[in-house]
């Protein structure tokens, strides 16, 4: 659930310098943007431009060297690691290039898992998982294991799993990177539909400029800095 007056995710003056011994590697510099409830944003950039590092910071998996990341108005740096992880689990859903579904579980069980971990009663979790699998067009595949699904279907299960906790925002890292063009198109249009249906903000890191364009808003990272363009969000 989100407060309509507050950005879901906000980066303020974010910089990251990796330090190994005396060696300093500056990777991100003065990143500023915010993502409001239900908004969509692509982050594009060449290999090594800092996209994955930024995604880590936005998820609170690491802290910036300077600046601050806010999730639902809370500054990650003000929280303990356990509190950061609780905040992340509450408000963010993740979709990766590889689906990370558990091979021995059915589609339904995979989608239910985040709720079972959160100790939601099985019956309720099952109902929600069934509804979400129907919403991603897989009502007829609930009993299939990942090996019995196509690449596109597996990614749709992963999207359903990311949505089951009703996150305010989905962070997706090359969500169509492993798919052929037809499956990639289906997964993209599904994500756009779900973004509208559930008002879930959507932030996608990608190399794919066509995918980025279809999100309607993008920022480009060049050597760790936001390249300001006409549709820059910052
Ligand atoms: N732990 C680390 N220590 C030192 N340098 C790092 C570390 N992690 C990343 N880097 C450097 O930071 C830069 C940005 O890396 P990052 O993985 O964020 O790029 P990216 O845009 O996601 O690239 P790709 O598209 O290839 O995944 C790279 O030059 C990388 O070598």
Residue 179 belongs to a domain:
yes
Q: Whose CA is nearest to atom 9 of ligand 1?
A: 53
Residue 178: predicted pLDDT:
82
Containing domain of residue 181, as a range? Answer: 40-49+80-227
CB of 152 within 6 A of ligand 1: the answer is: no
- Closest CA relative to residue 97, chosen from 216, 202, 212, 204: 204
CB of 127 within 6 A of ligand 1: the answer is: no
**pTM for the model:** 0.89
- Cα–Cα distance for residue pair 61/88, rounded to 1 Å: 9
Residues 6+ apart with CB under 8 A from 203: 9, 35, 40, 41, 42, 43, 58, 169, 170, 171, 172
Residue 126 belongs to a domain:
yes
Residue 151: predicted pLDDT:
92
Residue 60 belongs to a domain:
no
CB of 53 within 6 A of ligand 1: the answer is: yes
**Whether residue 230 has pLDDT greater than 50:** no
Number of domains making up the chain: 1
CA of 21 to the centre of ligand 1 (A): 18
- Closest CA relative to residue 172, chosen from 204, 201, 150, 213: 204
CB of 16 within 6 A of ligand 1: the answer is: no
Residue 116 belongs to a domain:
yes
Comparing 107-111, 144-148, 191-195, 225-229, the range with the smallest average pLDDT is 225-229
CA of 197 to the centre of ligand 1 (A): 34
From 21, 42, 49, mutation site for ligand 1 pocket: most ligand atoms within 8 A of C-beta: 49
- Closest CA relative to residue 111, chosen from 171, 160, 168: 160
Residue 180: predicted pLDDT:
85
CB of 19 within 6 A of ligand 1: the answer is: no
Residue 175 belongs to a domain:
yes
Tens-digit pLDDT profile for residues 61-78: 999 999 999 999 999 999
Residue 210 belongs to a domain:
yes
Q: Whose CA is nearest to atom 12 of ligand 1?
A: 27
Residue 107 belongs to a domain:
yes
**What CATH number does residue 95 fall under?**
3.40.50.300
CA of 28 to the centre of ligand 1 (A): 10
Residue 232: predicted pLDDT:
47
**Whether residue 31 has pLDDT greater than 50:** yes
CB of 48 within 6 A of ligand 1: the answer is: yes
Q: Which DSSP helix (H) or strand (E) runs through 97?
A: none
As a whole-number percent, the residues of the chain with pLDDT over 90 amount to 78
From 14, 17, 18, 174, mutation site for ligand 1 pocket: most ligand atoms within 8 A of C-beta: 18
CA of 163 to the centre of ligand 1 (A): 28
Give the number of other Cβ atoms within 10 Å of residue 160's Cβ. 28
Looking at residues 174-201, what average pLDDT do you find? Answer: 88
CA of 46 to the centre of ligand 1 (A): 11
- Cα–Cα distance for residue pair 58/179, rounded to 1 Å: 25
Contact 204, 215 (CB under 8 A): yes
Residue 18: predicted pLDDT:
96
Q: What is the DSSP letter of 23?
A: E
Q: Whose CA is nearest to atom 25 of ligand 1?
A: 47
Residue 218 belongs to a domain:
yes
Give the number of other Cβ atoms within 10 Å of residue 115's Cβ. 19
- Closest CA relative to residue 61, chosen from 106, 31, 16: 16
């Amino acid at each position: 659930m989100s407060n309509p007056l507050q950005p879901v995710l906000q980066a303020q003056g974010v910089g990251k310098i990796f330090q190994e011994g005396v060696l300093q590697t500056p990777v991100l510099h003065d990143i500023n943007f915010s993502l409001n409830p239900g908004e969509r944003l692509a982050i594009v950039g060449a290999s090594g431009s800092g996209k994955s590092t930024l995604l880590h910071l936005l998820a609170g998996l690491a802290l910036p060297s300077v600046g601050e990341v806010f999730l639902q108005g809370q500054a990650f740096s003000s929280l303990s690691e356990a509190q950061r992880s609780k905040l992340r689990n509450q408000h963010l859903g993740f979709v990766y290039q590889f689906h990370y579904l558990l091979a021995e579980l059915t589609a339904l069980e995979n989608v239910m898992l985040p709720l079972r971990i959160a100790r939601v009663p099985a019956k309720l979790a099952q109902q929600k998982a069934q509804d979400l699998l129907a919403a991603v067009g897989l009502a007829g595949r609930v009993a299939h294991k990942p090996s019995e699904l196509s690449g596109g279907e597996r990614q749709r299960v992963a999207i359903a799993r990311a949505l089951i906790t009703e996150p305010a925002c989905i962070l997706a890292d090359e969500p169509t990177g492993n798919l052929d063009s037809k499956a990639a198109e289906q997964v993209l249009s599904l994500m756009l539909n779900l973004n509208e249906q559930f008002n879930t903000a959507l932030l996608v890191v990608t190399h794919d400029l066509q995918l980025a364009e279809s999100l309607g808003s993008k920022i480009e990272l060049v050597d760790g800095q936001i390249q300001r363009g006409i549709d820059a969000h910052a």
